[in-house]
Structure 1
Amino acid sequence: MRRIGFLLSNDFQLMTLASQCVFEYANVVVSDCFYDVDNFSIEGGTVRTSLGMTVGTSSVQGCGEVHTWIVVGVNDPLASRVSFREPEFLREEVGHAQRIAGVCTGAFLLAEAGLLARRRATTHWAFAREMQRRFPDILVEEDRIYVVDGAIWTSAGMTAGLDMALAMVQMDLGAAVARSVARKLVMHQRRSGGQSQHSEMLDLADKSDRIQKALNYARKNLSRPLTIEELAETVHLSPRQFSRVFTQETGRSPAKAIEGLRLEAARSMIEQTRHPLDVIARETGFTDRRHMRGAFIRGFGVTPQAVRREMRDEELV
Structure 2
Amino acid sequence: MPNTYDVKPLSDKDRQQLQKQYWLIAGFTLFAGGIFFVIFSNVLSGPQMSQAPLYLFGVFAAIFATVIVVVLRQNYLELKNGVKHCYTGVVTNKRVNRHTSTTGSHSTNVRAGHGSRRTTTRTTYYVSLDDKEFSVDLSVYNQAITGDKAYLEISPQKKQVLRFRVLAAQPQQHSPRYSASSTVNERMRDKECAISAKERLIVRRIFFRAWRKKLFFFLAIALFFISVFTSGFILFTVPLAVVLIINAYKLFVPLLRYRQFLHAARPKIISSVRVKDKITFTSNRSRTRYRLVTDDGTLDVPEAVYQSVTKSDVLSVHRAVCIDIVFGVEQKQSNALFYLD
- TM bracket (short chain): under 0.3
The structure with the larger Rg is 2
TM-score, structure 1 normalization: 0.25
- Write 1 or 2 for the structure with the bigger share of helix: 1
Higher relative contact order (CA 8 A, sep 6+): 2
- Write 1 or 2 for the structure with the bigger share of strand: 2
